[in-house]
Each structure stands twice: as structure tokens, then as C-alpha cells.
Copies of this chain bind each other. A is one copy, B any other.
């Protein structure tokens, strides 16, 4: 049994690294670049990492610096990265956890439907099927909306690209830096924003929550995991939108001529996209720092685990909040929806939060020592990379080569999950069998 999970993290690490390397080579091919452009190795590696980890931070413009082939490679990488990661994490590591108990195994089977899922390949095909179906519906809806204002072929290609990018929470787009305007002129179109927002939310829920929601029709129950994910998604979306909506910069400088309804649609989409799609429809650097701080925190929190979303995950935050409330009330058990959270779950949430905070802090510190620039902007970019969010205050474009490798590493670490690398490094330790007496420590 010990060998079983020992190999888990390393398989994940090497598997991901392998996909990124293939992507780097493909993107470095001469015909991946747009005519007259050249992609350097460090740019190819950065782009491949950003696509495979569904982050969306870019050092080269996707629409203008890459050829159609290059864009296809990027689309392929984010699809494989997204689907492959979910399948793998559900099956091997994340969901099942370090110690495979009968209980968690039961949950996996229950939430994915035992009869259909029996092995790794079956699971990957199942996840891929759900993914492709949802993306196809999204692409069709976007195509029908966009064909009126765009040439047929372009409308179809853009619809497919942005549906996949939305569902995979990837944040790559084909309009930034071009003259086509935000979303090809549909940047304030409620239908376009609704379709893409729903795709982002579903991708951020992950396969287990979607299955639980789907099967609610039959069993009329939602798991604790699903409840916490939905509640946190709701709370974060509502409070985040409220704070962005009171930002005077949004009304005064950005959209003075827009109706309140459209401002609301843009604000709502921006907050939904923050966790962790990163599809940018307004210039974030022109928002006030208060809004930027909220967006940064929401990126850090991210979406559900084992989904397209990154971040420490809504579940981690929910578990911590439930545990803290129990401590404050003097209860010995952390109870939520009449279910007790196991100590092991709480310990894992603490570990994820601590390791993530440390990683983001250390990387921010190193980058701010190496580069000129406001430390808040640096931190924003690092959180965006860690959470595979892809929102940017334009710091990424100023990175030197070492900075690019560091941000690429942060994206990689973030996508593997905050604990994967730590666990992989710590696992060689022999478990202790000695029991030591308890001694409490005085706390602040």
C-alpha cells in the first residue's frame, strides 16, 4: 500500500513535465510562429507551461505572434492539461488522498458512478466526454451569436477556441492586442458573457460537483463537498461583484458611457473569471487597488479541487472557516451540515493553506528583489500564476528569463496542487511508530 501512493505524486510531476516539454518543442517549431515572428525557447517553455497548467499568463500575444498551427497547439495543450489533470487527480492522488480509506474510496465511486468508471482510461474518457459535450454546446451558442458580426470561418474558430478556453478556465484569448476589440465587440454582450461565465463556473466546479448536481434529480441529496463548493462560489461571487461595483474607477474612468446593467454584467463576469479563468474583458490595472486586492484574494482561493480551477480551492477555505468557528465556540468537533469534518481533512487544509502562502511569499520576495516594480503588482502576478488564474497587471511582460522560469515553476507547482511537491519530497521519511506524550503550547 505504501508503494501505491509513493509513486502517485512523482507520476503526476513527471507526466505534467513531459506534456510541457512536448508543448515547448511544438511551439518552438518555425511554423508555430506567425509569419515574420520568432518564438524563443524560454517563451515557448513559458507558453507551454501556461497552457498545460491552464493559467493563461502570456509573454507573447496569442493572436498575433502565433500561427494558426501554434494556436492549435496551445488549444490542444490546455485541453490535455485540463482533462488529463482532472482524470489523474481524481483517480490517483487528490481525491483518494494519501491514505486510501474505504470511506474515501466509497465517495469516489459514488460521486463518479461506480458502474461506469472502473479504471484510469475509463475515467479519462468519461471526463473527456463530459468536457467535450459542454464545450461543444458552448461553442455552438457562441458561434450562433457571433456569426452575425464575423465571417463564418472566423466565428466558428473563435467560438471553439473561447468555449474550450472558458471551460478549461485557461484564460487564453484571441482578441487581446488586436484591433477586433474585447471579445470581438461582444465584450459587453450579456449572452456572450452568460455562455462563457456558465462554462467557466462548470469547469471550476469540477467533475465530482457536477455529477452530484446532476444526480440530485434522482437521489435528492447533495454531498458536503458540493454544498460547501456551491455556497463559497455564491458568497465569493456576490461579495466580489459588490466590491468591484462600488469601485469609482469602474464608473468614472473605465465605463463612463455604459449603462448600469452592462457595467454589472462586466463586473460580475470579471469576478467569476477571477476564480480562476483569467479571461480578461477590462483593463485590470485601471481598477483601484482595493478591487485588485479582492481579485487577488479570490484568485488565491480559486475553485473546487479536481477541477479546471486552481488556487487553494474553495473546499480548503470552507473547511478552515468551519474549523475556526468551532474553535471559537469551544466545540471539539468541526460540524457543517450535520457532518463532522475529520481531523485529517482539517490538517490537510491547514497544510495546503500554509504551503501556498509560503510559496507565494517566497516567489514574490525573490522576484521583487530581482525586478523593479511595485511589490503589490508582483504579488498579484505570482498569485495569478500559483492559482493558474492568468489575470495580469502587466508585470509578466517585464520578466527577465530567470523571472519567467520562476513564474513557470510557480504555475507548475500550483497546478500540481500545493502539497504534491512537498509530499513527493517528504515521502522518503519513514513513518514514526513511537508515540510521544502530549504537551500543549501557549498560543497568542
Contacts and interface: CB of A to CB of B under 8 A. Distances in A.
Contacts of A426: 325, 328-330
A315 B442 contact: yes
A417 to B, nearest CB: 6
B340 A438 contact: yes
Interface in A195-239: 208, 223-225, 228
A3 to B, nearest CB: 13
A436 interface: yes
A435 B225 contact: no
Interface stretch (A32-40, A171-179, A259-267, A316-324): A316-324
Interface stretch (A62-70, A121-129, A349-357): A349-357
Contacts of A347: 323, 326-327, 346
Contacts of A335: 432, 436
Contacts of A257: none
Given A350-B350, A376-B376, A442-B225, A437 B327 contact: no
A399 B350 CA distance: 35
Interface in A254-301: 288-290, 292-294, 297
Contacts of A397: none
A210 to B, nearest CB: 13
B376 A345 contact: no
B351 A346 contact: no
A348 to B, nearest CB: 5
A418 B442 contact: no
A25 interface: no
A28 to B, nearest CB: 32
A251 interface: no
Enumerate the 3 nearest inter-chain pairs by beta-carbon distance, A residue then B residue, closest first: A313-B444, A289-B375, A339-B439
Given A225-B442, A293-B375, A324-B354, 11 more contacts: A292-B375, A293-B361, A302-B444, A313-B444, A315-B443, A321-B354, A324-B350, A335-B436, A339-B436, A340-B438, A352-B443
16 contacts: A94-B442, A97-B440, A98-B330, A292-B375, A312-B444, A313-B444, A318-B441, A321-B354, A324-B355, A326-B347, A328-B426, A330-B423, A330-B427, A339-B437, A340-B437, A345-B443
